[in-house]
């Protein structure tokens, strides 16, 4: 099931989907990492955006 892009109420803002290309692209650009690294972060940290970003920060630093 894909996200309904017409709903703009923030219900997905705290989650990252490894199936949504635009979400993966955003994290790739933000952290300067590969798509596989982003997918690994989601596997390791879960789909919480906060946890994924913290994981990617630790990997970069």
Q: Which residue has the higher pLDDT, 60 or 16?
A: 16
pLDDT digits (tens, 9 = 90+) for 3-54: 666 766 555 678 998 888 999 999 999 999 999 999 999 999 999 999 999 9
Residue 6 confidence (pLDDT): 72
> What tokens appear for 6 in the block?
């017409």
Backbone angles phi, psi at 38, to 5 degrees: -65, -45
Q: What is the pTM of this model?
A: 0.77
Residue 41 confidence (pLDDT): 97
């Amino acid at each position: 099931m894909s996200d309904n892009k017409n709903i703009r109420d923030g219900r997905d803002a705290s989650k990252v989907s490894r199936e949504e290309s635009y979400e993966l692209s955003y994290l790739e650009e933000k952290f300067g990492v590969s798509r596989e690294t982003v997918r690994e972060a989601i596997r390791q940290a879960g789909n919480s955006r906060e946890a994924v970003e913290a994981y990617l920060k630790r990997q970069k630093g």
